[in-house]
Structure formats: C-alpha cells, structure tokens
Amino acid sequence: MFARRVSLNLKPNSAASLTEKIEKEVLPLLRKQNGFQDEIIFLSKDGSKAFGISLWDRKESAEAYASDTYPQIEKILMPLVEGSPRVGTYNVSNSTFHKLAAGVPS
C-alpha cells in the first residue's frame, strides 16, 4: 500500500468550504481512480491548516493519479489555499483498518 500526504495552509474562514468541496467535488474524482483505497482529511482546530492522506493499492496507481488527476483537484482547492500545497509520498508499513503488518511490502 502507498500513501500521498498533501498539506495546505487555508485562507481565513475557508475550512467549511474545504470540507464541502472535498465531499462534493474531490471524493467523486478520487473514487474513479484506479487503485484508490481511502482519503482522510485533517483540519487544525483553528481551521488555518489541513492535510489529507490518500491511500493507494500501489505506488504506480498513486503516481498515475498525481500526473493525470491531481492537477484538476489542485485547481478545485486553490481558491481556498494560501501558497502552494506540499506533497509527500510514503510506503504504508502498518494499518489496522487495512490489516497490514510491519514489514509486509505493498
């Protein structure tokens, strides 16, 4: 399993709009992507920062999404974001939800 983490600095008072755009516009696009497993969004208490973690069946699926669909999602969210999103990629080593054990290659 593979993960992408996208961190955002939000414009003032845009947390509710972010949640709505994620639900109505972003998740439908993600669900259409080959290899997409899950998306988890985190908001800071004050609503100034957010990050999302998307989980993928394998690195190649995440990379295909990154080049084909992520630019469209970035455009959807840009009116709510200050600066540029920061993206990191990771191999998933453990997950109780996905029943992965440490050291199991994805």
Please, how many CA atoms are within 13 Å of residue 83, restricted to the half-sphere of its CB? Answer: 12
Residue type, 96: T
> pTM of the predicted model, to two decimals?
0.87
- Residue ranges with strand state E in the chain: 2-10, 36-43, 49-56, 81-91
Domain residue spans in the chain?
A: 2-91
Spatial separation of the C-alpha atoms in residues 56 and 77, rounded to whole Å: 21
With a cut of 60, say whether residue 26 has pLDDT above it: yes
Average pLDDT over residues 42-70: 96
Spatial separation of the C-alpha atoms in residues 93 and 46, rounded to whole Å: 31
Q: Which residue has the higher pLDDT, 20 or 94?
A: 20
- The residues, ordered by sequence, that sit 6+ positions from 63 with a Cβ below 8 Å of its Cβ are none
Q: How would CATH label the architecture of 2-91?
A: 2-Layer Sandwich (3.30)
